[in-house]
Structure 1
Amino acid sequence: MTISSSPVRLSLDEAYELSRDVLSRNGMNAQHAASVAQSVVAGQRDECQSHGMYRLLVCVKGLRSAQVSGNAQPDVFDVSAALTRVDAHAGFSQVAFAAGVDELIRKANEVGVAALAINNCFHFSALWQEVEMLAERGVAAMAMTPSHACVAPAGGSKPLFGTNPFAFAWPRPGDFPFVFDFATSMVARGDIELAARNQQSIPEDWAIDACGQPTRDPARALDGAMLTFGSYKGSALSAMIELLAGPLIGDWMSFESLAKDAGAAITPHHGELIVAFGLNKFGGGDGCAKSNLARAEVLFHAIVDQGARLPSQRRFAARARSLREGVQIDRALFDEINAL
């Protein structure tokens, strides 16, 4: 590995090997270590630091707690023509998703719309990774999941919701699909955790302290509650995600996941819902679907032509840069990962 003062630069292969080795040495089998290592390196590659190699710390903490299984074999259930369910058996969501994704795509193309419900998983990964891959395989898709309760509902002051991300992807010609992925909180919780690690202040509209007052101190924010984006609009979307990826699929909501954690402070344990749309079925056949995709391109070009950017453009630019130059990791984080 090429090590300089700070930050440390690694090739993508070196980042993957380091991540995989850390996970393997802490109890993951080869399948789990490869899948989770690919996920955290993808986050680092795309400069999504809160979902990058920083997440190795909490992965290892979960493995050492004995609550997270690094050897679980997911069970896949063919529930109906449009629904597949995967029981992760307390393993990581990436492995469960890989077990069910082929069935999800097949059903979406055959029926028109299909769902994949993942239960009993530990989940930390960025949802764009899943929906982007689905779009690259020719289906439109959306995904959602709750988290640990750390976000106050609009008008409230106590944690109830998780950051509750929602992601969507649409197939496009060329290298990248149309993708967006956002937390229904003002920011991902990992961004506040990283600010605390680096002793940086945060914007005042991200969170409130334990007394319900706005704060720029990330430590006070972590002890208080994060805020939803768009006030009541983000709060309503967050509640929707709690319901669709919680009670609908028979899994935990964010406040239940936090209670189950019981102070261990490990990755949230709950479920995930992914819905895929077969373009040919909805579009009226192959020829019509191609025409409809072309019409969608008119929309995308109209956005860009007036100086706006499409979601994930900065992430895709970061990916191209990382493929050329490798990734950078804060020296202190690199040393902490190596110590694992």
Structure 2
Amino acid sequence: MSESFTRVNKEELERFVSNVFQVAGLNEEHSSTVAKHLVLANLRGIDSHGVSRVDIYTKRLDLGVTAKTTEGKVVKESAASMLVDGGNGLGIILATRGMEIAVKKAKEAGIAVVGIKNSSHCGMLADYTMYAAKHDCIALATTNAPSSMAPWGGRVGYFGTNPFSYGVPAGEEQDIVFDMATSVVARGRITLARKNNQQIPLGWAITKDGHPTTDPVAAADGLVLPVGGPKGYGLAFLMEVLSGLLTGAAFGPYIASLYKDLDKNQNVGQFFFVMRADLFEELKEFKNRMDQMIREVRHIPAAEGFEKIYLPGEIELERTVERQTIGIPLSIHILNELEAVGRRYGLPFPFK
């Protein structure tokens, strides 16, 4: 690890971040939820969605742009569905509760759909589908995002990175959890590269004039590119329909920027589809078959240039085990940013 990074303890980091959000105005339960979510992202190696978001989340709370006390309001409900108005609360809190509701309804009805509007950035979707898988459910989670990607063939941004995640329970093997942006990378990775003064690979983004770039500053003013060209564009379109249009949230260019629009509600949408894993066959049989498929895929001979076959989410799981053992690497810039946030709230900083 480069000397420009410092490894920090998971529990200490969670405790500090939770204290920050309590002083910022959230109750203890919600502060703990946000802290655990952000630190989990760092544990899994999704640093773009980890504690690097503490600064902007707290700024929006301080400005009153994000509500501090919202629990969400039920707009419409059936035995297998619910639409929630998030009241412009923190997306992590709303999405956590939304998935809990979806799992509970799916347990009772077999299938459940939960939509959230008037939400905000909800962090790492894998956290929510992991929860469903742990409760013996198969889940799909989506969210939309501020406009940063042109439709395939276009040169003006319309769609966001519009990620989706799925979770599937296994038996003796680890649950399968997959999480991806429909752009080549999540925009947060460009933001993190800018904060850390790092170049980005060619192919991630283009400048506002349409030129390929390795400069994260130019990329932030430009557009990200859809993964797989027209295929990523097609996926981003569907995620926009499910997260934005279906829920009544904002969509495309009508979603406020997390970082730039500090006087506007984001009105992001989230969508969760959950089904019991025993919907068609006994749970034990389903899990046995999942284990069989996992083991067979794992033992497929590796192609030239590859050392092993990874299951979806397996790399993140390995990172989690490693970082729980030796600590979470944070750049000097992120440490300084967290220290400044703590200073803003009169909190001692435990990592320097």
- 1:295 counterpart = 2:296: no
Corresponding residue to 1:208 among 206, 209, 213: 206
1:253 aligned partner, one-letter code: F
Residue 304 of structure 2 is matched in structure 1 by none
1:160 aligned partner, one-letter code: Y
Residue 11 of structure 1 is matched in structure 2 by 9
Cα distance change on mapping 1:318 and 1:208 into 2, 3 Å: same
SS in 2 for 1:37: helix
Structure 1 Cα separation of the partners of residues 44 and 202 of structure 2: 26
TM-score (norm 2): 0.88
1:334 aligned partner, one-letter code: L
Structure 2 Cα separation of the partners of residues 294 and 30 of structure 1: 40
Residue 34 of structure 1 is matched in structure 2 by 32
Instruction: Give 1:168 deviation, angstroms.
Output: 0.4
Residue 335 of structure 1 is matched in structure 2 by 336
Corresponding residue to 1:244 among 221, 242, 245: 242
Structure 2 Cα separation of the partners of residues 324 and 158 of structure 1: 45
Structure 2 Cα separation of the partners of residues 122 and 299 of structure 1: 37
Moved more, 19-28 or 97-106: 97-106
SS in 2 for 1:91: coil
Residue correspondences, number:
333
Identity across aligned pairs (percent)?
29
SS in 2 for 1:328: strand
Structure 1 Cα separation of the partners of residues 264 and 327 of structure 2: 29
Structure 2 Cα separation of the partners of residues 235 and 334 of structure 1: 36
Instruction: Give 1:267 deviation, angstroms.
Output: 8.8
Instruction: Give 1:55 deviation, angstroms.
Output: 0.9
Report which of the two has the higher share of helix: 1
Residue 154 of structure 1 is matched in structure 2 by 152
SS in 1 for 2:86: strand
SS in 2 for 1:222: helix
1:88 aligned partner, one-letter code: G
SS in 2 for 1:89: coil
Instruction: Give 1:260 deviation, angstroms.
Output: 10
Q: Is the Cα contact below 8 Å between 2:171 and 2:290 reproduced in 1?
A: no
SS in 2 for 1:271: strand
Q: CA RMSD in A?
A: 2.2
Write the mapping of 1:116-155 to structure 2, written as runs, cut at 5 A: 116-155=114-153
SS in 2 for 1:169: strand
Instruction: Give 1:193 deviation, angstroms.
Output: 1.1
1:75-94 CA deviation, whole Å, 9 max, x = no partner?
Answer: 34561111022222111122
1:97-130 CA deviation, whole Å, 9 max, x = no partner?
Answer: 3434443223213322111112211123110000
1:198 aligned partner, one-letter code: N
Runs of 5+ consecutive residues of structure 2 not aligned to the other structure: 301-307, 342-352
SS in 2 for 1:215: coil
Write the mapping of 1:19-98 to structure 2, written as runs, cut at 5 A: 19-76=17-74, 79-98=77-96
Runs of 5+ consecutive residues of structure 1 not aligned to the other structure: none
1:324 aligned partner, one-letter code: T
Structure 2 Cα separation of the partners of residues 202 and 211 of structure 1: 17
SS in 2 for 1:120: strand
Structure 1 Cα separation of the partners of residues 11 and 99 of structure 2: 25
Q: Is the Cα contact below 8 Å between 1:61 and 1:266 reproduced in 2?
A: no
Cα distance change on mapping 1:127 and 1:244 into 2, 3 Å: same
Write the mapping of 1:266-285 to structure 2, written as runs, cut at 5 A: 268-283=266-281
SS in 2 for 1:18: helix
1:124 aligned partner, one-letter code: C
TM-score (norm 1): 0.91
Cα distance change on mapping 1:94 and 1:116 into 2, 3 Å: same
Cα distance change on mapping 1:37 and 1:155 into 2, 3 Å: same
Cα distance change on mapping 1:268 and 1:45 into 2, 3 Å: farther
